[in-house]
């Protein structure tokens, strides 16, 4: 981007940094992979969607590695790819996540819950653990974990998903306490209402309408998902927030949860009518 004839420094905010993005093949992770690469980062997309991930990696000059975050050795191998590729790991974005089984807590399937926790919680623990090993003893690094508005407010997602995302807030604060002495910042990012495949599928499931059009769901989300008139969440909103956290601009921010929700979780929306 040209600004008054000068190349914007915003395009090179991660110049030369090595970043792993789990769940980077599509959705929010893919938007972030594109933005990080555009800002000069060497990006490694770590996902289970091999074809989609490889295609995107080729498009943006990134690397792709098959990595099921629930499997610790896969995550360790992804970190090894970073170390052999460029000798360092600067940014670990633990973004991979899955939605939960809907239904009453009284009928909750413990098997389904454990499956979700294996990805959404253990997957992030694996990411923090192996990133920390690679970053300790270096000049530091940045770890970002994708939580959710469902960690801040009840009733936005399934019980299993909500508990998994809330667990990340505690994990991030705890890891930030330890890793700060190594110059490693650890933060959460909590999106809300981003029209990804995950959100569309979750809406269909919760509303019990498997045939609902994605466009209709996006409209519903846009109407209820933000305090900002005419503004709903886009993947790029979350990508830009991650870029900020990953960059030196956020050098004094650690143990934080950056909520990207257009103010949704800050207000009791049923009372908004008093301002209209
Ligand atoms: N979309 C939203 O509104 C929203 C809101 C809050 C939080 N989030 C979180 O944002 C993150 C990205 O979600 P999204 O909305 O882009 O969904 P998405 O379904 O579009 O993308 C999820 C990505 O994670 C990958 N993935 C799933 N399981 C994996 C595993 N075991 N190992 C490696 N990769 C795996 C998928 O293949 C996919 O590429 C998730 O952690 C999600 O919980 C999303």
Share of the chain above pLDDT 70, in %: 93
Q: What is the pTM of this model?
A: 0.95
CA angle 216, 195, 221 (to 5 degrees): 50
Share of the chain above pLDDT 90, in %: 78
Mean pLDDT of 86-109: 95
**Higher model confidence: residue 160 or residue 4?**
160
From the list 10, 64, 161, 275, the catalytic residue is 161
The CA 184 to ligand 1 mean position distance, Å, reads 24
Q: Would you say 128 and 94 are in contact if contact means Cβ atoms under 8 Å apart?
A: yes
- Ligand 1 pocket, CB under 6 A: 22-23, 25-29, 47-49, 67-70, 95-98, 119, 123, 146, 148-149, 191-194, 196-199
Alpha helices in the chain (DSSP H): 27-38, 50-60, 72-86, 110-117, 123-135, 159-179, 197-207, 214-224, 235-246
Domain limits, the chain: 15-262
pLDDT tens profile 234-265: 999 999 999 999 999 999 999 999 999 999 99
Instruction: Indicate the range of 7-11, 136-140, 170-174, 176-180 predicted with least confidence.
Output: 7-11
Closest CA to 237 of 95, 100, 32: 32
pLDDT of residue 205: 85
CATH topology of domain 15-262: Rossmann fold (3.40.50)
Joined together, the tokens standing for residue 76 give 């360790």
The CA 26 to ligand 1 mean position distance, Å, reads 8
pLDDT of residue 274: 60
């Amino acid at each position: 981007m040209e600004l008054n004839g000068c190349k914007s420094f915003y395009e090179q905010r991660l110049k030369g940094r090595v970043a792993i993005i789990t769940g980077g093949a599509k959705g929010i992770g893919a938007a972030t992979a594109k933005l990080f690469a555009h800002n000069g980062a060497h990006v490694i997309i770590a996902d289970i969607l091999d074809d989609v991930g490889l295609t995107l990696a080729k498009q943006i000059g990134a690397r792709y590695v098959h990595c099921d975050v629930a499997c610790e050795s896969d995550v360790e191998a992804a970190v090894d790819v970073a170390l052999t590729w460029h000798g360092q790991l600067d940014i670990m974005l633990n973004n991979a996540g899955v939605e939960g089984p809907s239904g009453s807590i009284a009928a909750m399937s413990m098997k389904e819950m454990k499956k979700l926790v294996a990805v959404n919680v253990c997957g992030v623990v694996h990411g923090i653990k192996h990133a920390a090993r690679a970053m300790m003893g270096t000049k530091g690094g940045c770890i970002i974990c994708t939580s959710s508005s469902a960690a801040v407010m009840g009733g936005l997602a399934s019980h299993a998903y909500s508990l998994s995302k809330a667990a990340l807030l505690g994990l991030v604060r705890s890891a930030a306490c330890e890793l700060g002495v190594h110059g490693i910042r650890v933060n959460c990012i909590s999106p809300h209402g981003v029209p990804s495949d995950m959100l569309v599928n979750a809406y269909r499931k919760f509303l019990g309408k498997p045939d609902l059009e994605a466009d209709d769901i996006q409209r519903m989300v846009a109407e209820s998902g933000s305090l900002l008139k005419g503004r709903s969440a886009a993947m790029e909103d979350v990508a830009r927030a991650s870029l900020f956290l990953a960059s030196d601009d956020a050098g004094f921010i650690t143990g934080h949860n950056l909520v990207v929700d257009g103010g949704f979780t800050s207000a009791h929306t049923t009372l908004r009518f008093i301002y209209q």
